[in-house]
Amino acid sequence: MVKAAELIKASLGAGRELFRSVPLLEVPPGQEPVPVIVPIRSLGPKHRDRILAHLLALDAGDRYLRFGYAASDEQIESYVEHLDFDRDEIFGIYNRHLTLIAVAHLAFAPDPAYAACAEFGVSVLGIARGRGYGTRLFERAMMHARNENVDLLFIHALSENTAMLKIARAAGAAVERNGPESDAYIKLPPADFDSRMTEIVEEHFAQTDYRLKVQAKQFTDFLATMQEIRRGVQAARRRSGS
């Protein structure tokens, strides 16, 4: 049985994890920066269309870095169609418009002989660059991989993908370069109570954040519809001279 003291300690640790390695809000000179929590949600089959929209929104250069080749729309559609949500884990970051601005794919080896290995890939829309989202998604993926008994996380990237390789090196990965391509390997520690509690807290927070964004967008859309109707009524009155 888990002791109350252990539960409190793990909860505090989970809170610290939420604020770790996240971007800071810009503040006036002389004031302390404010840490921003990045809600990262686990995605399932019902999010397939939004994952596709995210990847199709990547420009040619970003597609090249994400997939290692200049992926066409058809190739991206095939990739999304064949995502295995039962085996792999897909994480995403939504903005307030419910647009997926960053997506990570944690792919587990289909061969049981390599069950302790997983591969990481990530993409971030250009409008969301420089906010640390790639790093946060990598940390989230590492935590989930640990909790799934993975002890070796692998990244295969183009050598020119300096942003991805920088994230890997910062996490302690060993990077091996082979001409135009590079492989990064990071040894993960075993799961513990803190890592499991942190993942539960983060997922709950992300789901709550998403529900609030859905409600806010629905209300905003409702107001926009009412304003459109009001403008239509006013225009009709002007035309009738009343």
Query: What is the tens place of the pLDDT at every residue in 150-179?
Result: 999 999 999 999 999 999 999 999 999 988
**Distance between CA atoms of residues 42 and 141, nearest Å:** 10
Q: Look up the domain containing 83 and give its range.
A: 4-240
DSSP of 80-145, one letter per residue?
Answer: HHT--TTTSEEEEEE-TTS-EEEEEEEEEPSSGGGTTEEEEEEEE-GGGTTSSHHHHHHHHHHHHH
Report whether pLDDT(8) > 60: no
CATH number at residue 128: 3.40.630.30
Number of structural domains (the chain) is 1
Query: What is the tens place of the pLDDT at every residue in 93-110?
Result: 999 888 999 999 999 988
